[in-house]
Amino acid sequence: MKEALFYKTVETRENRKPVETCPEGIPDKGKNRENLGKTVETMKTRENRKLRCNLCNHHCLIADGKRGICGVRENVKEKLMSLVYGRLIAENVDPIEKKPLYHFQPGSLSYSIATAGCNFRCFFCQNWDISQRPKSGGDIPGRNVSPEEVVASALDSGCKSIAYTYTEPTIFFEYALDTSRLAVRQNLKNVFVSNGYTSTEALDLIKPFLHANNVDLKSFNDNFYRELCGASLEPVLETLKWHVKNKVWLEVTTLLIPGKNDSKEELEEIAGFIKNELADYVPWHVSRFYPHYKMQDVPQTPLESIHNAYKIGKEAGLKYVYAGNIPHENSENTYCPKCKEVLIERYGFTVTKNKIKDGKCPECKTSIQGVDLTP
């Protein structure tokens, strides 16, 4: 976190460091505060002259003229403003496999958008230049694009979905919600790529329009989340359970960082949680770390660690385990969990072959879980 933040101790389990929250917030250094963004009518409560933002599990209490941990939600004269509504900082056409979502419309394109900001402060963030920029206060970068324009661009680009990604979609939730509502009217699906810190209230609100989510399970150690991300583990676990319970397609990604979250014991805990608390069909992507942001001194993940994690997932009983950030390996492919036939063959983010027929393996007729798997 930037030094301008003020921290408050919240209720935690014994012997754990407090999670950073934002009772006062990041001071606004911009101009024309009344014209900063869109007034937020939901996901807030009033406490004296401060506003409690209930969009994510930080539940920031924001004083007038200050911003929440994300740096993009501000109390302006007792009105909660989204400073990033319609302010795109990234806009691309991506393969859905890049999210990564391997069991959701494989081989399709997804119109991918993001605004600046994030409610985490991960030391290893790959997109830190746009996710962390608003936390120093000041004006928010981006260009004005309406939800209608996003949907039109997605259709024009031949995409089957819109992905809210690159930064944390929770922090531009109202924009994502309005866009997703329009998208479903045009037979487009909506997917999140998320850190899993969205509040249950927000998830319930977007549920009718959200079709899939790839959620990072960064570690199974609460201290990792507190020290390296500025968050805590338990809300992420509850978010993961919410998706399975509410039948929103879920895939899980763990970035393996040498010496931080790659021990055999921790990987077994993660694989066991997915198998026992979620479902054995939930895909687990174990991804290779490359030095980024504040962790330039940490080496890239050894291939052996990725292979070990893949093996641990399989031994735990997970049907679908994938290795990420190491293209051209067989662990990118989707195999039938029963007869081991190669069903979807991948080369990087490209699907080169898809043999699934009517959602089943053509050889043994085993059902393969996912969304729109048949080409």
Which pLDDT score is estimated for 332? 94
Query: 329 with 300: CB under 8 angstroms?
Result: no
pLDDT value at 183 more than 80: yes
Which pLDDT score is estimated for 27? 52
pLDDT in tens, 82-113: 999 999 999 999 999 999 999 999 999 999 99
pLDDT value at 56 more than 70: yes
- Residue spans of the domains in the chain: they are 87-329, 333-375
Mean pLDDT (whole number) for 252-278: 98
Which pLDDT score is estimated for 6? 22
Residue 375 and residue 358: Cα distance in Å, rounded? 9
Q: Does domain 87-329 have CATH number 3.20.20.70?
A: yes
Query: 117 with 171: CB under 8 angstroms?
Result: yes
Residue 240 and residue 250: Cα distance in Å, rounded? 8
214: CB partners within 8 A, 6+ apart:
99, 100, 101, 191, 192, 193, 194, 250, 251, 252, 253, 285
Which pLDDT score is estimated for 11? 25
Query: 240 with 222: CB under 8 angstroms?
Result: no
